């Protein structure tokens, strides 16, 4: 993959770049947010490893501007371990995943490999349909009421998993494990943020919501009214 490393700690950036090169990737480094924005706008890389605290323009602004401009690059943000707010803002702004600093190089490589996989959920030639929501899994296209819905790779994976078993409630932990290959309870907030992103794209423009929350348990996709809400009869 062509990977843009945006990191102002030069030694760390070089360290990451050489590890990526050893693993067959083609990295470039930018130490400044504004330069990174210009480089990624001119030629979007496959993936951007984006530090948030940067000279020139901060990472969140870089991310927001790229996503507003429709930049298709996947984005992994680097945050300090105590910057939970920044992680949430980053995911809300369109990042696909995050890694807290300081990190082990193996962990960064694993995250990058997971993001680079075309689909984290098994690919197939299936056409998935729930009401007027259609997913062409092979060509990774989604429409709602015939209108195309543009999803990021991880948004697509999450929706695919939910659409494969309409009506089944998936726990946040299971979604986290299967879509992000993360196994910590701590990361399930990421799932909530991606569900919100999906709702904005899939449900907001339509009359009937298809993504449902099962309070305290998880989420499902269904066209049955009241799916996912607790019913007094559900334990009968």
How many angstroms separate the CA atoms of 206 and 202, rounded?
A: 7
C-beta of residue 98 within 8 angstroms of C-beta of residue 79: yes
By three-state DSSP, how is residue 172 classified? helix
Quick check: 61 binds Ca ion (CB under 5 A)?
no
Contacts of 24 (CB under 8 A, 6+ apart): none
Question: What is the chain's alpha carbon radius of gyration, rounded to the nearest angstrom?
Answer: 19
Q: Pick between residue 12 and residue 64 the one whose CB is nearest to Ca ion.
A: 12
Report the candidate in 153, 143, 151, 96 with the shortest Cα–Cα distance to residue 121.
153
* Binding test (CB under 5 A) with Ca ion, winner from 53, 164, 173, 213: 53
Locate 155 and state its tokens: 């948004």
Phi, psi dihedral angles at 183 (to 5 degrees): -125, 20
Q: Pick between residue 30 and residue 212 the one whose CB is nearest to Ca ion.
A: 30
Residues 141-200 close enough to bind Ca ion by CB under 5 A: none
Quick check: 83 binds Ca ion (CB under 5 A)?
no
* Binding test (CB under 5 A) with Ca ion, winner from 51, 83, 97, 157: 51
Q: Pick between residue 8 and residue 83 the one whose CB is nearest to Ca ion.
A: 8
Q: Select from 5-13, 22-30, 92-100, 114-122 the region that touches Ca ion (CB under 5 A).
A: 5-13
* Binding test (CB under 5 A) with Ca ion, winner from 8, 96, 97, 155: 8
Least Å distance between CB 59 and Ca ion?
8
Q: Please give the residue ranges that form the binding site for Ca ion (CB under 5 A).
A: 8, 51, 53
């Amino acid at each position: 993959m062509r990977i843009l490393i945006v990191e102002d700690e030069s030694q760390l950036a070089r360290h990451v770049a050489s590890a990526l090169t050893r693993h067959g990737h083609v990295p470039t480094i930018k130490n400044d947010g504004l330069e990174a924005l210009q480089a990624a706008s001119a030629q979007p890389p496959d993936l951007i490893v984006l530090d948030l605290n940067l000279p020139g323009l901060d990472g969140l602004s870089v991310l927001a501007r790229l996503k507003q401009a429709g930049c298709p690059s996947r984005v992994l943000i680097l945050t300090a371990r105590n910057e939970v707010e920044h992680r949430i803002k980053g995911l809300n702004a369109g990042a696909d995943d995050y890694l807290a600093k300081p990190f082990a190089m193996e962990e960064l490589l694993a995250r990058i490999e997971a993001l680079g996989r075309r689909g984290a959920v098994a690919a197939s030639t299936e056409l998935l349909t729930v009401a007027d929501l259609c997913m062409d899994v092979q060509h990774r296209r989604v429409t709602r009421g015939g209108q195309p819905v543009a999803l990021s790779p991880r948004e697509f994976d999450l929706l695919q998993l939910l659409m494969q078993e309409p009506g089944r409630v998936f726990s946040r932990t299971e979604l986290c494990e299967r879509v992000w290959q993360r196994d910590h309870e701590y990361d399930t907030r990421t799932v909530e943020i991606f569900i919100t992103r999906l709702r904005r794209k899939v449900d907001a423009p339509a009359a009937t919501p298809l993504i449902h929350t099962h309070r305290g348990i998880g989420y499902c996709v269904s066209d049955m009214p009241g799916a996912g809400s607790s019913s007094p009869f559900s334990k009968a």
